[in-house]
C-alpha cells in the first residue's frame, strides 16, 4: 500500500473546463500547471485528471484514440511530463484516468480488428463469427465493417469492448477469461500504464473497472484476477503507484487489488441518501441527510456503509467524494451552509477523499444541452469560476468559443471566496488542514459510531477525536453519555466561541476525547 495515501486529499480536474491558457475556450495542461499553487492552498496534495488522451471526444475523452498521446487541445506529452514534474515539486501526486474496457472506434487497434484478413488485432475486441450472429443480453454493432462479424459495445456506440474474455463460454467465438487474446489485452493495458508511470504519473483512476470480463460471476472473480495481476505488477515495479476504481463495490474492488474504491452515487445506496436523495427529474423533493429540513436519519447511510467499511478496512480505502464529472453538483439542492456541514463530514471520514473542481466555492449544476456525450452530466462540467472578470476568469476567448457556457446566474468565484472569512472555500481549507494535522483523521484511522438516533446529532469517533454532525436548522442537546466523552473543541464551522452545552444547527464539531 503506498504510504502517501494515508494523508492524501484528491482534487479532481475535468481538464477541458479548468483553465484555458491559449484562448481557444478549452482548458489545457498548462492551465493546470498554472493553478497548482491554488490546489495546494486548498490542502489538496493529489490530483485526478479526467482523460487527456487523443480522442474524437464523442464521450468527452472516454473514447480513447491513442492511449500514449495527449490530445492536442490539451497540449503535448511534454506538457504532461512538465505537469508531473512541477506537481511533484509542490508535493502533489497525479493520477490519470485509465479507460481499460474499451477504446474509440477510431483507435488503430480497432481499425485493424475490422479488417477481414486475420491479423494480430483481430481478437483484441469482442467479435462474433458472423455478421448475422448477435450477442445475447449485450449491446453490439453490425454492418459497419468488411469483417464477417458483429462487435460488442462497452457503453456508447463509439466504444467497442476490448476482449478480456468471458466468464461463461457458450459460443466458439468467445475467449475464455485468462486465456489467449484475453491475456494479450491485459498485457497491452499494462504497457499503457507503464508508459505513463515511467513519464512520472503516480497511478490511475480506473474507468468502469468491473466491466472487463463479460458474463463474469456475481463477485466478478475473473475481473478481480486481472486487477490482482496488475496490482502485482505495480507492487513489483512501481510500489508507490496507486489505483482507485470506479466500481463502488469495495468487497470486490479492494479484494481485487485496488488501493481505493469510489463510493459512487448509486440510487438508494448510503452515499446517495446523504446528498442526492431525490428523483432525477424531481429534485425539489429532497430528503437528503444534509438537507436542513429533511428527516435526518443517518442510519439509512450507516446500513449501507458500515458493512462495506468493516469488510474492507484492512484491505484498502473507501473514497468519499463531494461530486464528480458524472454526478449533479451537490449545490443543485444544498445551500452553502448545508454544504459546509456535508464537506466537514466527508473530509473527516475514513478513506481517501476526493474534491471535485469548483465544489469548494459552491459551483452549481445547470441543465444544459449535451456536450460530447455528457447528456444530463453536462451541467456539472461547466468552466471553473476564478474571478469576476471576463468569462469568470476561465478564458480570454469570446463567449461563443467557450467549451461550455459559464454560469452567470451563480457567479461565485475563487477570488471573492478567498477574501471572505466565512466562505465555503474557507471552511473547506480549514477542515482539510485539520485532517492533515490530526493522525486520527487520516485515511486509516478507526471509525466508530457513538450515537445515531433519527433526528438527533450524529456522533462518531475517529481515533482520539469525536465528531458531531447536526445538519438540521435547529439547535440540539447531546445525550449526557456523549457529553461526558468530550474534551477540547478543536473545530467548528462557525469559528466564534459558542455555548459549549448546545449543538448549534448546521454545525459540525470535532472534539478531543477525554
Domain identity same for 191 and 75: yes
Which of 160-174, 196-210, 387-401, 491-505 comes out lowest in average pLDDT?
491-505
Domain identity same for 27 and 119: no
Name the percent of the chain lying above pLDDT 70: 98
Q: Which of 377, 404, 437 is the last residue of a domain?
A: 437
Residue 175, in any domain of the structure: no
Domain identity same for 156 and 196: no
Domain identity same for 34 and 63: yes
Q: List, for residues 184-220, the tens digit of each pLDDT value.
A: 999 999 999 999 999 999 999 999 999 999 999 999 9
Domain residue limits at 148: 102-161
**In this model, does residue 323 exceed pLDDT 70?**
yes
Write the CATH number for 506.
Answer: 2.60.40
Residue 285 is predicted with a pLDDT of 82
Task: Report how far residue 216's alpha carbon sits from residue 202's, in angstroms, rounded to the nearest whole number.
Answer: 30
Q: List, for residues 464-506, the tens digit of each pLDDT value.
A: 999 999 999 999 988 888 999 999 999 999 987 666 678 999 9
Domain identity same for 56 and 197: yes
Residue 172, in any domain of the structure: no
What does the pLDDT average to over 418-429? 97
**In this model, does residue 405 exceed pLDDT 90?**
yes
Residue 176, in any domain of the structure: no
Domain identity same for 95 and 106: no
**If you ran DSSP here, which 8-state letter would residue 486 be given?**
E
403, three cell numbers: 467549451
Reference 501, options 477, 482, 469, 485; nearest CA is 477
Residue 209 is predicted with a pLDDT of 98
144, three cell numbers: 459497419
Domain identity same for 119 and 49: no
Supply the mean pLDDT for the chain: 96
458: Cβ contacts below 8 Å, ≥ 6 apart: 298, 451, 452, 468, 469, 470
383, three cell numbers: 468552466
Domain identity same for 193 and 144: no
Residue 498 is predicted with a pLDDT of 65
Q: List, for residues 334-382, the tens digit of each pLDDT value.
A: 999 999 999 999 999 999 999 999 999 999 999 999 999 999 999 999 9
Residue 53, in any domain of the structure: yes
Reference 446, options 258, 313, 286; nearest CA is 313
Strand 486-492, strand 46-49: pairing = unpaired
Using CB atoms within 10 A of its CB, is residue 58 exposed (0-12), middle (13-18) or buried (19+)? middle
Residue 319, in any domain of the structure: yes
What does the pLDDT average to over 143-152? 96
Domain identity same for 414 and 486: no
Q: Which of 380, 404, 437 is the last residue of a domain?
A: 437
Domain identity same for 96 and 112: no
**In this model, does residue 3 exceed pLDDT 90?**
yes
Q: Which of 390, 405, 437 is the last residue of a domain?
A: 437
Residue 499 is predicted with a pLDDT of 66
Task: Report how far residue 199's alpha carbon sits from residue 201's, in angstroms, rounded to the nearest whole number.
Answer: 6
Residue 497 is predicted with a pLDDT of 66
Q: List, for residues 439-467, the tens digit of each pLDDT value.
A: 999 999 999 999 999 999 999 999 999 99
Write the CATH number for 117.
Answer: 3.90.400.10
Residue 189, in any domain of the structure: yes
Q: List, for residues 99-130, the tens digit of each pLDDT value.
A: 999 999 999 999 999 999 999 999 999 999 99
Residue 459, in any domain of the structure: yes
Q: Using an 8 Å Cβ cutoff, are 464 and 440 in contact?
A: yes
Domain identity same for 433 and 453: no
Residue 168, in any domain of the structure: no
Write the CATH number for 211.
Answer: 3.20.20.80
**Overall domain count for the chain:** 3
Residue 257 is predicted with a pLDDT of 98
Q: Using an 8 Å Cβ cutoff, are 233 and 190 in contact?
A: yes
Domain identity same for 110 and 134: yes
Residue 65 is predicted with a pLDDT of 98
Helices marked H in 69-153: 77-89, 108-113
pTM value is 0.97
Reference 231, options 207, 203, 251; nearest CA is 203
Amino acid at each position: 500500500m503506498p504510504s502517501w495515501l494515508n494523508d492524501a486529499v484528491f482534487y479532481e480536474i475535468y481538464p477541458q473546463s479548468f483553465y484555458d491558457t491559449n484562448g481557444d475556450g478549452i482548458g489545457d495542461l498548462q492551465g493546470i500547471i498554472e493553478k497548482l499553487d491554488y490546489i495546494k492552498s486548498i490542502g489538496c496534495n493529489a490530483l485526478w485528471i479526467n482523460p487527456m488522451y487523443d480522442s474524437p471526444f464523442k464521450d468527452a475523452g472516454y473514447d480513447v484514440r491513442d492511449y500514449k498521446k495527449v490530445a492536442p487541445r490539451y497540449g503535448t506529452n511534454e506538457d504532461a511530463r512538465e505537469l508531473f514534474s512541477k506537481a511533484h515539486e509542490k508535493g502533489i501526486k497525479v493520477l490519470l484516468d485509465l479507460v481499460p474496457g474499451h477504446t474509440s472506434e477510431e483507435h488503430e487497434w480497432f481499425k485493424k480488428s475490422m479488417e477481414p484478413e486475420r491479423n494480430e488485432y483481430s481478437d483484441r475486441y469482442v467479435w462474433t463469427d458472423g455478421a448475422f450472429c448477435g450477442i445475447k443480453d449485450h449491446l453490439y454493432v453490425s454492418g459497419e465493417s468488411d469483417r464477417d462479424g458483429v462487435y460488442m459495445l462497452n457503453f456508447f456506440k463509439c466504444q467497442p469492448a476490448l476482449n478480456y474474455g468471458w466468464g461463461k463460454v457458450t459460443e466458439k467465438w468467445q475467449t475464455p477469461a485468462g486465456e489467449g487474446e484475453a491475456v494479450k489485452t491485459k498485457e497491452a493495458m499494462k504497457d499503457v500504464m507503464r508508459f505513463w508511470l515511467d513519464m512520472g504519473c503516480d497511478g490511475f483512476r480506473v474507468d468502469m473497472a468491473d466491466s472487463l470480463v463479460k458474463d463474469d460471476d456475481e463477485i466478478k472473480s475473473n475481473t478481480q484476477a486481472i486487477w490482482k495481476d496488475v496490482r502485482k505488477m505495480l507492487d513489483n515495479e512501481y510500489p508507490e503507484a496507486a489505483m482507485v476504481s470506479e466500481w463502488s463495490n469495495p468487497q470486490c474492488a479492494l479484494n481485487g487489488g485496488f488501493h481505493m474504491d469510489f463510493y459512487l452515487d448509486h440510487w438508494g445506496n448510503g452515499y446517495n441518501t446523504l446528498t442526492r436523495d431525490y428523483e432525477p427529474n424531481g429534485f425539489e423533493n429532497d430528503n437528503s441527510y444534509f438537507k436542513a429540513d429533511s428527516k435526518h436519519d443517518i442510519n439509512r447511510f450507516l446500513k449501507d456503509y458500515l458493512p462495506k467499511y468493516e469488510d474492507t478496512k484492512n484491505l484498502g480505502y473507501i473514497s468519499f467524494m463531494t461530486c464528480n464529472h458524472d454526478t449533479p453538483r451537490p449545490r443543485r439542492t444544498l445551500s452553502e451552509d448545508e454544504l459546509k456541514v456535508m464537506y466537514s463530514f466527508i473530509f473527516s471520514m475514513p478513506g481517501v477523499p476526493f474534491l471535485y473542481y469548483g465544489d469548494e466555492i459552491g459551483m452549481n449544476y445547470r441543465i444544459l444541452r449535451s456536450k460530447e456525450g455528457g447528456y444530463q452530466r453536462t451541467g456539472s462540467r461547466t468552466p471553473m469560476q476564478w474571478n469576476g472578470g471576463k468569462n469568470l476568469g476561465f478564458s480570454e476567448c469570446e463567449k461563443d468559443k467557450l467549451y461550455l457556457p459559464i454560469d452567470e446566474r451563480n457567479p461565485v468565484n475563487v477570488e471573492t471566496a478567498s477574501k471572505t472569512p466565512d466562505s465555503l472555500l474557507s471552511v473547506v481549507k480549514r477542515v482539510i488542514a485539520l485532517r492533515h494535522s490530526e493522525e486520527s483523521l487520516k485515511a486509516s484511522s478507526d471509525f466508530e459510531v457513538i450515537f445515531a438516533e433519527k433526528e438527533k446529532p450524529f456522533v462518531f469517533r475517529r481515533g482520539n477525536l469525536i465528531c458531531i454532525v447536526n445538519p438540521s436548522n435547529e439547535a440540539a442537546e447531546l445525550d449526557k453519555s456523549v457529553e461526558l466523552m468530550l474534551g477540547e473543541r478543536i473545530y467548528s464551522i462557525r469559528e466564534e466561541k459558542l455555548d459549549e452545552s448546545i449543538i448549534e444547527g448546521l454545525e459540525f464539531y470535532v472534539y478531543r476525547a477525554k
